[in-house]
Amino acid sequence: MVEIKLHDIGEGMTEAEVTHFLVKPGDEVVVDQPVVEVSTDKMTAEIPAPQQGVVKELLVEEGKTISIGTTVVVLETAREAERETAATLEIEKEPVKAETPFVQSFEVTAPDRRVKAAPYTRKVARELDVDIEQVKGTGVRGRITVDDVKRFAAVPEPEHSHQVKEQKVSVESVDESEMIPFRGRRKQIANKMTQSLFTIPHCTHFEEIDVTELLDIRQELKQEKLAISATAFFIKAVSVALQEFPVFNSRLDEENEAIRLVKEHHIGIATDTAEGLIVPVLKNVEKKSLQTIHEEMKELTQKAGENRLKREEMTGSTFTISNVGPLGGSIGATPIINYPEVGLMAFHKTKKRPMVVNENEIAIRSMMNISMVFDHRVADGGTAVAFTNRVQALIERPYLLLIDLK
């Protein structure tokens, strides 16, 4: 037998939810054929068959969260099947003894029989209120499959039985409609947020930024057929500031009592999707132009929304940003740091307000709040304020970014 187990499919992954089996008992599979789909907080992946063979058994139910190393599917290889077939033929060749009539009579009259069905098949039978002993198996060597159970359940029943079953289903559906499953990506997100919050002493600094000039430049670029999002400017400004304050692009190595400064700026982009929060990573921002940042960011966020991100597109971030403005986050927030990073900056909704400019003049300006969250073990408040002020200066006077264009 060959056991197909859940292996590590992502950075820091310890468990995953079995979302869907792509095979059923009795199916023949070839090498590298996907047999089961699993989901983590970062991705959905398929686990392939390491060898050719026949699916013997599915050991885990769909919807269950399992840890790394758990056996999910059991395969029977061709050699094992040949040995089993040969053993069966040998048994059939044995001569029938004279005293077998009693045995034959017993086999004919015995009401019980050994049911060949996987745990998941039995679960389906229970849910459909099917007596699995009454189902005829069509799988390998008479094994009962899920399809067998469903076909059996589809046979019309007496009217009163149908009414009772319909009433039962109605009650159960009402109960289930009040429940939200806490597994898969939602559970993985919860675990990571808990790890971050209980490991890192969070501290949040708020600032107000005038983005009027940045928005004006964006409009001028649009007239030149160059559409660059405000988020691209934010990412570039953060990267330039990180060059001056590298402590916020670091890792705390407590074991070796050191703060490791990372040269590359791999910026995580917190993205809200139908499946939950996901953070695609824009690599080597310090080497890229505004146009390149915009195009790559747009592609990554689109992939995130469609659940098509690859592993390398979701790992290795060194600093994360969260642009919650489009979602309506107008005042501020205290985000949780994307562990094991040291900092996160959130950009909130832009609002037009009367502001004092040029000493005593009042003008309508586009204002935006930001939240800078940092690990207080690694940096102090004064350093965080200086870093935020630098980001503010680059955003309020975006022409300064021209100096660092790649």
Task: List pLDDT tens digits, range 266-299.
Answer: 999 999 888 788 999 999 999 999 999 999 999 9
Picking from 65-69, 94-98, 224-228, which range would have the lowest pLDDT averaged per residue? 94-98
pLDDT exceeds 50 at position 101: no
pLDDT at 146: 79
Predicted confidence band of residue 10 (pLDDT cuts 50, 70, 90)? low
Predicted confidence band of residue 92 (pLDDT cuts 50, 70, 90)? low
pLDDT at 275: 79
Distances (CA, A) of 188 to 32, 131, 180, 182, 346: 27, 37, 15, 9, 22
pLDDT exceeds 70 at position 214: yes
Q: Which is higher by pLDDT, 360 or 210?
A: 210
pLDDT exceeds 50 at position 48: yes
pLDDT at 155: 65
Question: At the topology level of CATH, where does 200-404 sit?
Answer: Chloramphenicol Acetyltransferase (3.30.559)
User: What φ, ψ does residue 182 adopt, rounded to 5°?
Assistant: -110, 80
Picking from 80-84, 262-266, 318-322, 335-339, which range would have the lowest pLDDT averaged per residue? 80-84
pLDDT at 317: 96
Q: Which is higher by pLDDT, 30 or 20?
A: 30
pLDDT at 329: 59
pLDDT exceeds 90 at position 15: no
pLDDT at 386: 97
pLDDT exceeds 90 at position 186: no
pLDDT at 184: 73
Verdict on whether the full-model pTM lies above 0.85 = no
Picking from 55-59, 173-177, 261-265, which range would have the lowest pLDDT averaged per residue? 173-177
Q: Could you tell me how far CA 290 lies from the centroid of its own chain?
A: 29
pLDDT exceeds 50 at position 309: yes
pLDDT exceeds 50 at position 102: no
Among all residues, which ones are annotated catalytic? 376
Cα–Cα dist 52/47, whole Å: 14
Predicted confidence band of residue 89 (pLDDT cuts 50, 70, 90)? low
What string of H, E and C letters represents the secondary structure of 236-277? HHHHHHHHHCHHHCEEEECCCCEEEECCCCCEEECEEECCEE
pLDDT at 321: 97
Picking from 51-65, 178-192, 262-276, which range would have the lowest pLDDT averaged per residue? 178-192
Picking from 2-11, 187-196, 274-283, 395-404, which range would have the lowest pLDDT averaged per residue? 2-11
Question: Three-class SS of residue 374?
Answer: strand
Q: What is the mean pLDDT of residues 179-189?
A: 79
pLDDT exceeds 50 at position 104: no
Q: Which residues contact 287 (CB under 8 A, 6 or more apart)?
A: 406
Cα–Cα dist 163/115, whole Å: 29
pLDDT at 119: 63
Question: Three-class SS of residue 176?
Answer: helix
Q: Which is higher by pLDDT, 361 or 178?
A: 361
Question: Three-class SS of residue 206?
Answer: strand
Picking from 173-177, 278-282, 315-319, 345-349, which range would have the lowest pLDDT averaged per residue? 173-177
pLDDT exceeds 70 at position 83: no
Q: Which is higher by pLDDT, 264 or 132?
A: 264
Picking from 104-108, 208-212, 375-379, which range would have the lowest pLDDT averaged per residue? 104-108
Cα–Cα dist 338/192, whole Å: 8
User: What φ, ψ does residue 4 adopt, rounded to 5°?
Assistant: -100, 115
Picking from 88-97, 208-217, 218-227, 385-394, which range would have the lowest pLDDT averaged per residue? 88-97
Q: In the chain, helix, strand, coil percent, each to 5?
A: 40, 25, 35
pLDDT exceeds 50 at position 169: no
pLDDT exceeds 50 at position 108: no
Q: What residue spans of 142-229 are helical by DSSP H?
A: 146-153, 159-176, 184-199, 212-223
